[in-house]
């Protein structure tokens, strides 16, 4: 491929296309004259959107990225743009996450048919989500609510709320904001009440390690604070070794040269929820993530993970 051209591999959902368009625009702004194209790639997760089984039964987070990573490895595309929360802790050999643009709102959002906040939902209200992390924390906050499995893209989930298939749903604020649905949010859930998924609100740019041209082109898009937060969160995830069958959450905040990491491991029924919070120097982000993970494991997280991840 010529020096002035970059092909981005992306899923075909409205949110994935928005993300790829946004990165393409930022690349063109940083490198005037650069030709940026896109190639839509259907992932295994896309094919299961309307299927009878949930993603956790088919290998977890890799469902959303495997085919795109294959296209990177065989040279069909030069760059992948992912939602970082969909990217497993371990990457295929030869690939790397080369830049993280500035993080969007990392919080979870409650969207309800009548505009109710989480505390004001009527007892027995049906709340849709496909995330065990959200199920666990919803049950802890409101054990009287009914959680129901809800899949599909953002617009599909919003439609299910509007049509009364569920009374409310929990989605990521970042996706709603990016697609112009921020006005549908009844409540942006506090970070200590609904700890986000590792990487939530962050775009991940993935490229071949040896492709120094593309790695260099992406460098101006990287945000320093986001990169440090991501280092802590993904170190946590990597040390826990969790897949999609265990409720795991982790969110880091950088301020004044310090980084604070809040993490959680629980059971889907909320019968056990382990929490840990630590802070340290920004330069020790990876060590912080590993230490927090080890504390959670020592509290009994190792038993939960062994039981649920099997």
Overall average pLDDT of the 136-142 stretch = 97
**Per-residue confidence band for 130, with pLDDT thresholds at 50, 70 and 90:** confident
> In this predicted structure, what is the pLDDT of residue 301?
96
Q: Are residues 213 and 138 in the same domain?
A: no
Overall average pLDDT of the 278-293 stretch = 98
Q: What percentage of the chain has pLDDT greater than the value 90?
A: 86
Output the domain CATH number for residue 117: 3.40.190.10
> How many domains does the chain contain in total?
3
| Residue 93 pLDDT > 80 | yes
d(CA 13, CA 19): 10
86 catalytically annotated: yes
Overall average pLDDT of the 268-290 stretch = 97
d(CA 114, CA 162): 9
Range of the domain at 177: 108-188
d(CA 158, CA 128): 10
What pTM does this model have? Answer: 0.92
Phi and psi at residue 114, to the nearest 5°: -105, 10
Render pLDDT for 63-72 as a digit per residue (tens, 0 to 9).
768 899 999 9
Please check whether residue 249 is in contact with residue 195, taking contact to mean a CB–CB distance below 8 angstroms.
Answer: yes
Strand pairing class (146-148; 126-128)? parallel
Q: Are residues 218 and 241 in the same domain?
A: no
**Residues β-bridged to residue 169:** 111, 128
Q: Are residues 64 and 207 in the same domain?
A: yes
> In this predicted structure, what is the pLDDT of residue 61?
56
Q: Are residues 211 and 76 in the same domain?
A: yes
Q: Are residues 90 and 119 in the same domain?
A: no
Q: Are residues 22 and 94 in the same domain?
A: yes
Instruction: Flag whether 145 is in a domain.
Output: yes
Cα→Cα distances 193→114, 116, 134, Å: 22, 17, 10
**Cβ neighbours around 298 below 10 Å, total:** 11
pLDDT higher at 235 or 1: 235
Please check whether residue 40 is in contact with residue 12, taking contact to mean a CB–CB distance below 8 angstroms.
Answer: yes
Q: Are residues 131 and 82 in the same domain?
A: no
Longest dimension (CA), the chain: 60
Q: Are residues 307 and 167 in the same domain?
A: no
d(CA 63, CA 45): 5
Instruction: Flag whether 193 is in a domain.
Output: no
- Fill in the DSSP letter of residue 31: S
pLDDT higher at 112 or 88: 112
**Per-residue confidence band for 3, with pLDDT thresholds at 50, 70 and 90:** low
Six-digit token pair at 59? 């290998």
Instruction: Flag whether 196 is in a domain.
Output: no
Six-digit token pair at 164? 């009364």
Q: Are residues 24 and 86 in the same domain?
A: yes
∠ CA 132-101-39, rounded to 5°: 80
Strand pairing class (273-281; 258-266)? antiparallel
**Residues β-bridged to residue 264:** 249, 275
Render pLDDT for 214-234 as a digit per residue (tens, 0 to 9).
999 999 999 999 999 999 999
Instruction: Flag whether 78 is in a domain.
Output: yes
Q: Are residues 1 and 89 in the same domain?
A: yes
Q: Are residues 260 and 151 in the same domain?
A: no
Instruction: Flag whether 197 is in a domain.
Output: no
Query: Which one of the listed residues 78, 86, 105, 108 is annotated catalytic?
Result: 86
Q: Are residues 267 and 156 in the same domain?
A: no
Instruction: Flag whether 242 is in a domain.
Output: yes
Output the domain CATH number for residue 241: 3.30.160.40
Render pLDDT for 180-204 as a digit per residue (tens, 0 to 9).
999 999 999 999 999 999 999 999 9
Six-digit token pair at 92? 């295929």
Instruction: Flag whether 194 is in a domain.
Output: no
pLDDT higher at 166 or 61: 166
Render pLDDT for 18-61 as a digit per residue (tens, 0 to 9).
999 999 999 999 999 999 999 999 877 666 654 433 444 334 55
Instruction: Flag whether 30 is in a domain.
Output: yes
d(CA 235, CA 200): 15
Q: What percentage of the chain has pLDDT greater than the value 70?
A: 93
> In this predicted structure, what is the pLDDT of residue 60?
55
- Fill in the DSSP letter of residue 102: P
């Amino acid at each position: 491929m010529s020096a002035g051209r970059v092909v981005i591999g992306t899923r075909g959902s409205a949110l994935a296309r928005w993300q790829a368009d946004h990165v393409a625009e930022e690349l063109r702004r940083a490198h005037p004259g650069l030709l940026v194209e896109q190639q839509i790639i259907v992932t295994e997760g896309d094919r299961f959107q309307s299927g009878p089984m949930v993603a956790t039964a088919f290998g977890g987070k890799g469902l959303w990225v495997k085919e795109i990573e294959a296209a990177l490895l065989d040279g069909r595309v030069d760059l992948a743009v992912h939602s970082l929360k969909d990217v497993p802790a371990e990457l295929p050999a030869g690939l790397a996450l080369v830049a993280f643009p500035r993080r969007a709102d990392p919080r979870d959002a409650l969207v309800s048919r009548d505009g109710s906040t989480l505390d004001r939902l009527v007892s027995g209200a049906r709340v849709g989500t496909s995330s065990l992390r959200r199920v666990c924390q919803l049950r802890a906050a409101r054990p009287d609510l009914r959680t129901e499995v809800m899949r599909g893209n953002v617009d599909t989930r919003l439609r299910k709320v509007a049509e009364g298939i569920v009374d409310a749903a929990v989605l990521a604020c970042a996706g709603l904001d990016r697609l112009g649905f921020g006005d549908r949010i009844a409540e942006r859930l506090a970070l200590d009440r609904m700890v986000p998924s590792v990487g939530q609100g962050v775009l991940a740019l993935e490229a071949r390690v040896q492709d120094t041209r593309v790695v260099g082109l992406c460098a101006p898009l990287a945000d320093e604070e986001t990169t440090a937060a991501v280092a802590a969160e993904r170190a946590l995830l990597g040390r826990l070794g969790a897949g999609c069958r265990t409720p795991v959450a982790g969110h880091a905040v950088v301020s004044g040269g310090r980084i604070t990491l809040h993490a959680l491991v629980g059971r889907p029924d909320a019968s056990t929820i382990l929490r840990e919070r630590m802070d340290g120097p920004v330069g020790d982000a990876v060590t912080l993530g590993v230490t927090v993970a080890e504390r959670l494991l020592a509290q009994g997280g190792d038993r939960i993970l062994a039981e649920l991840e099997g």
